[in-house]
Amino acid sequence: MTWPATVITLYPEMFPGPLGLSLAGRAMGEGVWSLEAVQLRDFATDKHRSVDDTPAGGGPGMVLRADVLAAAIDAVRATRPDAPVLAMTPRGRPLTQARVRELAAGAGVTLLCGRFEGFDERIFAARDVEEVSIGDYVLSGGETAALVLLDACVRLLPGVMGAPSSGEQESHEAGLLEHPHYTRPAVWDGRAIPEVLRSGDHAKIAAWRTAEAEADTRLRRPDLWERYVSARVKSPSGARRENKDEEA
């Protein structure tokens, strides 16, 4: 079954962009997912095809009009009623791997890309739109955020990644950052690959990787580490499972 993505944007020519290449591009060619970019301006009703207006209360910039956004959302929902509608906005809930997994397992997505100062606030409640941020910084438009979200979802669709297990140990899947990787040459720039990785002892390698993942998470992301540890304290025997459930 094809996982359908629809992007409502003032710049449809920005899609599929990088998602037309590599894993995502191949998967699109094979019909694993589809992408339709819808021009927001097509839903304007005046002769200038206006999609924005000045902010109520004054201030700089322009705001995307709720009536135009609603018309675009309604038109897409008529053909994709089950796909959740997500607006890209720095005011939204930070995107997580857990949410990405849910979206990838669902009926596709419809993404709204902002421009200028963003969206008229009334659209979110009026059309049941989820607000999503891809990080604590400000982009010039929602298109790059939509590409990020789609990339994260598409790589999880069945058959897109080479080995089915290749995603399981990755950063954020079990509440930890992934362990570090090395490849040949065995010594480079005077730096050797950790001896254990050349031992051929799979149990030792697995233990080393877990220890490295935990140490790196503790040092680099104390916020993730705290969540991981508290899940482990709650259920010492099921720590890993519980973390997965929280993430899933």
| Smallest separation, CB 93 to ligand SAM (Å) | 10
User: Which residues from 71-90 bind ligand SAM, rule CB under 6 A?
Assistant: 88-90
User: Which residues from 198-237 bind ligand SAM, rule CB under 6 A?
Assistant: none
Using the 8-state DSSP alphabet, how is residue 119 labeled? B
- x-or-dash string of contact with ligand SAM, 143-172, rule CB under 6 A: --x---------------------------
Instruction: Report the residue from 118, 157, 228, 231 that binds ligand SAM according to the rule CB under 6 A.
Output: 118
Q: What angle do CA 232, 230, 173 make, to 5 degrees?
A: 65
Q: Examine residue 135 and tell whether it contacts ligand SAM (CB under 6 A).
A: yes
Q: Examine residue 130 and tell whether it contacts ligand SAM (CB under 6 A).
A: no
Q: Examine residue 142 and tell whether it contacts ligand SAM (CB under 6 A).
A: yes
Question: How does strand 3-9 pair with strand 187-188?
Answer: unpaired
Q: What angle do CA 210, 211, 217 make, to 5 degrees?
A: 90
Asked if 109 and 6 count as a contact pair (C-beta separation under 8 A), the reply is yes
Cα separation, 67 vs 52, in Å, equals 10
The region of 10-18, 44-52, 98-106, 109-117 touching ligand SAM under the rule CB under 6 A is 109-117
Cα separation, 194 vs 180, in Å, equals 10
DSSP character string of 74-97: HHHHHH-TTSPEEEEEEEEEEP-H
Q: Examine residue 137 and tell whether it contacts ligand SAM (CB under 6 A).
A: yes
| Smallest separation, CB 9 to ligand SAM (Å) | 9
The site for ligand SAM (CB under 6 A) is made up of: 88-91, 113-115, 117-118, 133-135, 137-142, 145
